[in-house]
Amino acid sequence: MSRALSRQVDHALNDLDLTADTCYLLDLIVQHDGIAMNDLARRLAIPAPTLTKLVDRLASKALVFRLVDHTDRRRTLVHASLRGSEVHATASQWAREIEARFMAELGWSDEQLNALQVLNAPEDR
């Protein structure tokens, strides 16, 4: 089920040169501007090298940029660029519309959909 949804989101975001994965990553960066790379890796539950490749893709499109944390030079912080925030607004709207349509096609009750949203709610640690 999640693969089918990801494929639909990937297809819709193709015009923005994003994937479902990079869209979700951009969403986290916009919501938590200046987030540390290690915090992103923990939130996404992915290895640091994989995260670095995804952030590199966003940086190559000028959607995000990295800065060294001035309080701890061992940490790298990721920020959304102005362009990244603009692309995020469009991409997240498209992704929400696709997700809503996908969920409606499942024919689940409101109670089931609410339970799923609670299970998938991001944790703010």
- DSSP label at 78? E
pLDDT in the model for residue 96: 82
pLDDT in the model for residue 125: 40
What are the residue ranges spanned by the domains of the chain?
2-120
**Residues 20-39 as b or e (16 or more Cβ within 10 Å = b):** bbbbbbbbbbbebeebbbee
| Helix/strand/coil for 66 | strand
Q: What is the pTM of this model?
A: 0.78
Q: Is the dihedral of CA 34, 38, 39, 42 positive or negative?
A: positive
- Quickly count: other Cβ atoms within 10 Å of residue 97's Cβ: 12
The topology (CATH level 3) of 2-120 is Arc Repressor Mutant, subunit A (1.10.10)
pLDDT in the model for residue 111: 79
User: pLDDT tens track of the chain, all 125 residues?
Assistant: 567 777 877 777 888 888 888 988 999 999 999 999 999 999 999 999 999 999 999 999 999 999 999 999 999 999 999 999 999 999 988 888 887 787 777 777 777 767 766 666 555 44
